[in-house]
Amino acid sequence: MFPSTENEPSGTPLRSRLGVLTKHPTIAIDGPAASGKTTVGRLLARRLEFQFLDTGLMYRALAWTAIRKGLSLSDGAALRQLASDETFEFTVQEGSASSDERDPRFYTPEVDSGASQVAQWPEVRTALVKQQRDIASKGSIVMVGRDIGTIVAPNADLKVFLVASPETRARRRMLQVGDEGGYGRILADIKQRDQRDTQRSHSPLVAADDAHKLDTEGMDVEQVVDRIICMIGAA
Ligand code: DC
């Protein structure tokens, strides 16, 4: 179906193919909750020897920190202040780049919901988008999120928008977190986050006009990454 990993060219020729386009290529991967962006993006970055940035982790870390400090998730100004804190920037960058393990603190139902609440505030988004662009300017990078292809990196060299039904995403997330009985709750949560992410007035989740929509139904992570690498070859 898709080329196997062994038959792929190694990371360097792929990197240089994108490098012909710009000095520091950016690959933008967007998609809804639990669409596999982070797993796919991290593996892709490793194969290309690019940096990796999970922007969702920034919103999650902000929500977690705000909850811990007792800040209201409705106080946009206080959240923006927190987002601009230097310690916060450093922690998130390190966590995103260095670890395959999901930090369990940032993946509780409370933080799932809190992250999508803090992400609604324009002042929070402005502060985090600025940090994301600064990080991207430093080198070749794979960035994953909701607004990478539209807002953060509208000139990205390749834009991919991952698509899968809410039911498929809920099944994958259920297996990932090992919560066999939790399908109904996880599905309801995904639908609620989809609604919040697509309907917020500031930077809603939407595919960029020039994004490649990739339906991942029935595909595993390796197959999705192989498919994106084929897109790079055609870029
Ligand atoms: O991708 P994720 O589930 O880890 O993202 C957590 C929340 O952060 C999600 O509800 C939407 C928000 N988010 C966003 O608004 N913009 C991004 N670029 C990344 C995430």
Domain ranges, ordered by start, for the chain: 22-234
Atom from ligand 1 closest to the CA of residue 116: 10
% of residues, the chain, pLDDT over 90: 60
* Nearest in space to 127 (alpha carbons), one of 159, 92, 171: 92
Sign of torsion, CA 94 95 96 100?
positive
Whether 6 has a pLDDT exceeding 90, the answer reads no
Q: Report the SS3 class of residue 235.
A: coil
Q: Which atom of ligand 1 is nearest to the CA of 34?
A: 3
- Choose the residue to mutate in 59, 132, 203 for probing ligand 1, maximizing ligand atoms within 8 Å of C-beta: 59
CA of 40 to the centre of ligand 1 (A): 15
The whole-number pLDDT of residue 177 equals: 80
Output the pLDDT for position 20: 54
Question: What local confidence, expressed as pLDDT, does residue 18 receive?
Answer: 62
If you average pLDDT over every residue of the chain, what do you get?
85
Nearest-10 Cα torsion for 178, 181, 184, 190: -10
73 has pLDDT over 90 = yes
Please write down the HEC assignment for all residues of 173-211.
HHHHHCCHHHHHHHHHHHHHHHHHHHHCCCCCCCCCCCC
pLDDT in tens, 128-177: 999 999 989 988 999 999 999 999 999 999 999 999 999 999 999 898 88
**Confidence (pTM):** 0.86
Which range of 17-26, 48-57, 81-90 scores highest in mean pLDDT? It is: 48-57
* pLDDT of 72 over the 90 cut: yes
Contact assessment for residue 21 and residue 157, using Cβ atoms and an 8 Å cutoff: yes
Query: What is the CATH topology of the domain spanning 22-234?
Result: Rossmann fold (3.40.50)
In this predicted structure, the answer to whether residue 119 has a pLDDT above a threshold of 80 is yes
Contacts of 4 (CB under 8 A, 6+ apart): 226
8 band by pLDDT with thresholds 50, 70 and 90: very low
Token readout for 63 is: 């929500």
Question: Which ligand 1 atom minimizes the distance to the CA of 128?
Answer: 18
- Terminal alpha carbon distance of the chain: 20
CA 16 to ligand 1 center in whole angstroms = 30
Does residue 7 register a pLDDT over 70? no
**pLDDT per residue as tens digits for the range 44-64:** 999 999 999 999 999 999 999
pLDDT at 227 over 80: yes
173 lines ligand 1 (CB under 6 A): no
- Whether residue 9 has pLDDT greater than 50: no
β-pair partners for 52: 142
pLDDT of 11 over the 70 cut:
no
Residue 134 CA to ligand 1 centre (angstroms):
18
